[in-house]
Structure 1
Amino acid sequence: MTPTDPLGQDHVHPPEGRQQPMPPPGCPAHDGVTRLYVPEFAADPNAVYESLRAQGPVAPVEIAPGVPATLVTSYATALEVLRDPRNFPKDPRRWQQTIPADSPVLPMLMYRENCLFTDGELHRRLRSALNDGLSGVDSGTLRGYVERGAATLIDEFAPVGEADLLTQYGRLLPILVFDQMFNTPPHLSERLTKALGTIFEGVAADAEQANTELVLCTVELVEMRRAEPGRDIVSWLIAHPAELTQEELLSTIMLLVAAGIEPTQNLIANVLRLLLSDDRFAGGLTGGSVSVDDALVEILWTDPPMANYATTHPIHDVYLAGGVRIPGDRPVLISLAAANADPALSSARASGNRAHLAWSAGPHVCPAQSQAMTIAAVAVETLLDRLPDLELAVPVDDLTWRPGPFHRALNALPVRFPAVRPSAQTDENPGDNRWNVSPAPTSSTPQAPTSKERPGSSGSGEPRRWLNSLVRWWRGL
């Protein structure tokens, strides 16, 4: 008898007598190997997930040339794996010994002494320090960081009437926010984020050098904060009662930077793409009917910024409910995107339902999800307040996606709009807003003044001058 999963679907082997169709040339799975790092996968990942789902709740994939992995596409199976650290530990060092040092995916999957790659008591100690560091920045302060950064960036392109909201806004805003949270000087910020961009691609030949650069920048930042501690996350981690070792400290900071910048910029850009291309959100004759907060939740279901991750490393074969076999000694990636699209969840994806796996689940659920949601929500609301007549400059189907096995990331998001003056003048008369911005704070937009009530955040002052300087540095001016 062919084993089935808890949802009653055949898996492991196709039904007897039925041959799986051979994908056409150019497909990520043309020769029987499904590659998650090629441009064809990035162009239409949902078609690949559907094909893999036909094999059962788990399927073999390749995440880099010659690097096999197991991808979980079932929601129920994903929860089973994520909630079982005994059979699915996070420590990758056994597998890591079998991978070339220059493998492009190694910087994303290699062992680091932080809470992402540890279990048990060590995980709890490291996570407590990370949680306490994040809690040092209250929601009102965080909103202020986002609003100041957003105003600085919008002022740069608002008078022009066109922009790329990825490179000129979504990509830079999380950097500005984290630079304030970490008290990072501009020269280190540039090096850190360029290294992270290379690492997340998972396909670049210079990933090993990018990882080295990430470590060197983090060491320099820590030494600066040891010499001059301040009211920032790095200084708080250094002084935390958990007494992190130098390696634990460096690894925790790298985790915060990596998890806070790249996924957040993708979340901002993906939400803006949805808002600008879906009549439920944009205006028109009937007006928008769904809030920005609802758009955020929908993107976390349909296009989570980290599409395939939450990696574990079983050291032996594991059999799950229904006889599902997961081989040992190869990475197990949860397809957060595919699990969210599981046909068994058709009724669960109702508006406002937050049971998605965009933040993972179990003991390693993302500790910074509320901060990421705040940054994304305030970023989108501030932009739509200032530029209510935004529209895509190209058809939505012409937008392209960056290749890579882990993320869901646009290449660009070109828009046009009526040119407006810098914020010091436009705040006097914001005009009508055709966007249905959340009428009241929700879990992703904590109680605090809205972006329309920010008399000091867009005016002059030392924080704004510092942000202007940082933006000029990034522009090479």
Structure 2
Amino acid sequence: MRAYGPAAPVELAPGVDATLVTDYAAALQVLQNPDAFTRDSRRWRALEDGFLPQDSPVLGMMGYRPNVLFADGAEHLRLRQAVSDSLARLDAYRVSRHVERVSAYLADQFKYKGTVDLLNDYAKPLTFLVFNELFGASAEIGDRLIHGFTGIFDGIDAESANQELAGSLIQLVAQKRAEPGDDITSWMMEHPAKLSDEEMLHQITIMLGAGIEPERNLIANGLLLILSDERFFGGLYGGGLLVEDALNEVLWNSPPIANYATHFPVRDTELGGVKLPAYSPVLISFAAANTDPALSSSRQMLSKRAHLAWGAGPHACPIKESASLIATGAIERLLNEVPDIELAVPAESLEWRPGVFHRALSALPARFTPVQRPTTPATAADRGPTVGSGQARGRAERKGWWSSFLNWWRV
């Protein structure tokens, strides 16, 4: 695609044409220029004119929703301040402690077995459980949130999953209106922006959706690099610095969100000689921009903050510090719990989930020497359902990861 210049014509799905920016400097030009590029997909000309298939799989990610991601100007600033100010109240120590608790709980489910799917049995539930705590979800609401998001992300009965998700969020907002707590949901309600219940629902949806899926893929992709690259494998168990280095390399070379940040030019324009029709979708390839050959001679000298995996400009990720903290803590704790862990299959045989937007593994099987079970009565088996592979994981999901974790923590 680089042969086209800084951007290339692509077909995201049948009948959905777009332009994909692959050049680092051009990507910054789009991301940092809201006057020339709008995020409001209601202005998508082909969609307005009825030329797009209404059942297109990409519309779920690109179609308009009344949240901060698709807002511009004063409305974006109002919503962004409510989101950013609330996230800024997160205490790093609190986040780290909760990651430790959740990691210990999950490791307690599989460390006696000797095998684990590090994506589906560790990174995925860990991210759900951590975000449930940060947003103040009760046991019942947390279980419903997980069920809804899991169905949407995995494409399982999406209509039912959407209904479950909407119902759980309505319940969460109503609960926090009645009984505010020390959590992101309550902080957003208290914000001077005075978000309505409907605005709350849409902001929480995008915050959770944009946090959970990329976060679990960041953890899994980081673990894959650590367990498959000789520069890391066998040398990480003494501290966190190398974990941070591994995650930084993932964000440069294998970002969890590979292509996204849909923009629409407000007029016919050019980007490095490439013509962009007004109100046609322009997406940023974070993966391509980060590996732009023009950066090859200086990439090693670039700051870890110079990659575009977190975006840039007014829509840059507002929770990148906490996201990095969660991923680092999750990997460190795992390596402490099972220090001889290794991939159970060759790295090149792993499968990646198909999709335009993400860089996501389907599974990450690993093996290790099983930890000997304690002889005390309060073993992991006594603490509720496990989240191991196959039927065990299915039982845990049906009974509820969040309520199971809360029960385990009370023991």
TM-score if structure 2 supplies the norm length? 0.85
Deviations 1:295-321 (A, max 9, x none): 01000001101111111122432213x
CA 1:317–1:187 in 2, change beyond 3 Å: closer, same or farther? farther
Deviations 1:80-126 (A, max 9, x none): 11111111111111225344443322222222222211122211111
User: Per-residue deviation at 1:136?
Assistant: 2.5
Partner amino acid for 2:398? Answer: G
Instruction: Select the structure that is richer in helix.
Output: 2
1:357 and 2:279 correspond: no
Partner amino acid for 1:103? Answer: S
CA distance in 1 between counterparts of 2:140 and 2:396 reads 9
Residue in 2 that maps onto 1:27: none
The one of 257, 265, 280 equivalent to 1:314 is 265
Residue in 1 that maps onto 2:178: 227
Partner amino acid for 2:128? Answer: I
Residue in 2 that maps onto 1:449: none
1:53 and 2:23 correspond: no
Residue in 2 that maps onto 1:64: 13
**For residues 194-343 of structure 1, what are the structure 2 equivalents within 5 Å?**
194-197=147-150, 199-200=152-153, 204=155, 207=158, 210-283=161-234, 291-320=242-271, 322-343=272-293
1:155 and 2:108 correspond: yes
371-380 vs 236-245, greater mean Cα deviation: 236-245
Residue in 2 that maps onto 1:183: 136
CA contact (8 A) 2:22 2:289 kept: yes
User: Per-residue deviation at 1:343?
Assistant: 0.6
Deviations 1:259-311 (A, max 9, x none): 11110000000000000000000128xx9997111001000001101111111
Partner amino acid for 1:157? Answer: F
CA 1:76–1:377 in 2, change beyond 3 Å: closer, same or farther? same
User: Per-residue deviation at 1:348?
Assistant: 3.1
CA 1:81–1:422 in 2, change beyond 3 Å: closer, same or farther? farther
Residue in 1 that maps onto 2:23: 74
**For residues 11-30 of structure 1, what are the structure 2 equivalents within 5 Å?**
none
SS in 2 for 1:104: coil
The one of 61, 76, 80 equivalent to 1:108 is 61
CA distance in 2 between counterparts of 1:213 and 1:73 reads 37
CA 1:330–1:188 in 2, change beyond 3 Å: closer, same or farther? farther
Residue in 1 that maps onto 2:37: 88
SS in 1 for 2:4: coil
CA 1:101–1:243 in 2, change beyond 3 Å: closer, same or farther? farther
CA contact (8 A) 2:215 2:323 kept: yes
SS in 1 for 2:12: strand
CA 1:106–1:474 in 2, change beyond 3 Å: closer, same or farther? farther
CA distance in 1 between counterparts of 2:93 and 2:246 reads 22
CA distance in 1 between counterparts of 2:19 and 2:373 reads 50
User: Per-residue deviation at 1:137?
Assistant: 2.1
Whose relative contact order is higher, 1 or 2, with alpha carbons under 8 Å and at least 6 apart? 2
CA distance in 1 between counterparts of 2:231 and 2:338 reads 18
CA 1:82–1:198 in 2, change beyond 3 Å: closer, same or farther? farther
CA distance in 2 between counterparts of 1:470 and 1:112 reads 36
CA contact (8 A) 1:402 1:409 kept: yes
**For residues 437-456 of structure 1, what are the structure 2 equivalents within 5 Å?**
none
CA distance in 1 between counterparts of 2:28 and 2:175 reads 41
SS in 2 for 1:145: helix
SS in 2 for 1:313: strand
CA distance in 2 between counterparts of 1:192 and 1:224 reads 14
CA contact (8 A) 2:240 2:328 kept: no
CA 1:330–1:309 in 2, change beyond 3 Å: closer, same or farther? same
CA 1:350–1:386 in 2, change beyond 3 Å: closer, same or farther? same
User: Per-residue deviation at 1:350?
Assistant: 1.1
User: Per-residue deviation at 1:474?
Assistant: 3.6
User: Per-residue deviation at 1:60?
Assistant: 1.5
User: Per-residue deviation at 1:211?
Assistant: 4.3
Which ranges in structure 2 are unaligned for 5 or more consecutive residues? 388-392, 400-411
**For residues 108-187 of structure 1, what are the structure 2 equivalents within 5 Å?**
108-187=61-140
SS in 2 for 1:476: helix
Aligned length: 383
Which ranges in structure 1 are unaligned for 5 or more consecutive residues? 1-51, 426-459
Residue in 1 that maps onto 2:408: none
1:381 and 2:332 correspond: yes
CA 1:419–1:74 in 2, change beyond 3 Å: closer, same or farther? same
SS in 2 for 1:405: coil
TM-score if structure 1 supplies the norm length? 0.74
CA contact (8 A) 1:268 1:376 kept: yes
CA contact (8 A) 2:262 2:282 kept: yes
CA distance in 1 between counterparts of 2:87 and 2:239 reads 34
Deviations 1:373-398 (A, max 9, x none): 00000000111111110110000001
SS in 2 for 1:311: strand
CA 1:127–1:71 in 2, change beyond 3 Å: closer, same or farther? same
Residue in 2 that maps onto 1:24: none
CA distance in 2 between counterparts of 1:315 and 1:207 reads 33
Deviations 1:384-420 (A, max 9, x none): 1111101100000010001111111000000000111
User: Per-residue deviation at 1:192?
Assistant: 3.2
CA distance in 1 between counterparts of 2:355 and 2:5 reads 23
User: Per-residue deviation at 1:172?
Assistant: 0.7
Partner amino acid for 2:117? Answer: D
SS in 2 for 1:172: helix
CA contact (8 A) 2:109 2:386 kept: no
The one of 343, 350, 353 equivalent to 1:402 is 353
CA contact (8 A) 1:104 1:208 kept: no
